[in-house]
Amino acid sequence: MMEKKSMNMDDYSIGSFPTYSLTNMFDLSEERSFMELLGVQNMNNSYSLLDSPLDVKESLAENNGNGKETSLNSQQQPATPNSSSISSASSEALNDEHNKTVDQANNHLQKQLKAKKTTNQKRQREARIAFMTKSEVDHLEDGYRWRKYGQKAVKNSPFPRSYYRCTSVSCNVKKHVERSLNDPTIVVTTYEGKHTHPNPVMGRSSVSHVGSLIPPPAAECTTTNFGGSENYLMSSPYYNHHRQQVLFNTLSSMGFPSKIPQERLVCSNPRVMDHGLLQDVVPSNMFKEEE
DNA sequence: CGTCTTTGACCCGCGC
DNA sequence: GCGCGGGTCAAAGACG
């Protein structure tokens, strides 16, 4: 077991803006640093890469110092990941909607029904994945455009949870962002759904080459092995997504343009080349052989 | 004027 | 059945 090294803010601060050191990020000899940067727990640390709402909740509860959180577990386990996204409202549900409309036809109720229909459609949630990132910025820039559609106070926490939705039409990817109660410097970002479009930054980015910051379209990121293994995490589109967030955040906080020295983006291991930038800095043994 | 954020109200699921 | 907390809607306001 590697020796645990706590993530000290001082170690990762740049100027007055506490963030991550690019040196550590791209120094291949510092395998640990980037894993911590990404929030991958592997050394009894408090940073963990999560793959389900349940895991998120439990982790948050643990991180908040009380493992007895109960209501947080109310989230249903996500449907099977290979289910064909969010199915439209079933005919049964539609009939139900119709009956309700007939029974309760007034403006106020129609408004409620509208909301209810929407809720029904989203009852079968897509798999979620959460990342814990040490950052002062709540909403990490990631190239995608998000619209904030809600904010709620979190029980037992002074920090609210913000809800964002991808602004692209027909893309129903959502994410919510909250801070860890135990460590306010940690931002927990939870993604739900897959982008149905390329990253909007793709077209104007200067780093659309080997090891691009831009993750591939969702269609190219197949989710495998939903069992919560590293395999799933590594192949998840969110994995690219999140590390991109971190990179954007770090670079922008340092005054960098959205470009990374190419020599640092070259993948030295052909076996993991197709995984993208992360493979440059994540130890190869983190990846499992895929047939 | 278009886009985005804020915020109060509402619905739903769950536990008691 | 009731209360609570999570999640969402949508009107209003802010902003460039």
Q: Which amino acid is at A281?
A: V
Cα dihedral A135→A141→A144→A148 (10° resolution): 70
- Evaluate if residue A133 carries a pLDDT over 90: no
A253 vs A256: CA distance, rounded Å: 7
A130 vs A140: CA distance, rounded Å: 13
Q: Which nucleotides of B are covered by protein (CB under 7 A)?
A: 3-16
Q: What pLDDT band is residue A256 in, cutting at 50, 70 and 90? A: very low
Residue A43 to residues A6, A29, A36, A55, A99, Cα–Cα distance (Å)? 9, 17, 10, 18, 55
Q: For A28-71, what is each residue's pLDDT tens digit?
A: 223 333 333 333 333 333 334 444 434 444 444 444 443 333 33
Predicted local confidence at residue A24, as pLDDT: 27
Backbone angles phi, psi at A149, to 5 degrees: -120, 5
Q: How far is the CA of A35 from the C1' of C12 (A)?
A: 43
Q: Which nucleotide is nearest to A56 (CA to C1')?
A: C6
Predicted local confidence at residue A233, as pLDDT: 44
Q: Which of residues 212-241 of A touch strand C (CB under 7 A)?
A: none
Predicted local confidence at residue A143, as pLDDT: 73
Contact A191, A153 (CB under 8 A): no
- Asked whether strand C has any atom less than 7 Å from the CB of A150, the reply is yes
Task: Look up the protein residue whose alpha carbon has the minimum distance to the C1' of B13.
Answer: A74
Q: Which nucleotides of C are covered by protein (CB under 7 A)?
A: 4-10
Residues with CB under 7 A from strand B: A 70-71, 73-74, 76, 108-109, 112, 115-116, 119-120, 123, 139, 145-152, 162, 167
Predicted local confidence at residue A161, as pLDDT: 92
- Asked whether strand C has any atom less than 7 Å from the CB of A122, the reply is yes
Of A257, A166, A136, nearest to A204 by C-alpha is: A257
Q: What pLDDT band is residue A200 in, cutting at 50, 70 and 90? A: low
pTM: 0.51
Q: How far is the CA of A184 from the C1' of B10 (A)?
A: 30
Contact A62, A54 (CB under 8 A): no
Backbone angles phi, psi at A228, to 5 degrees: 90, 15
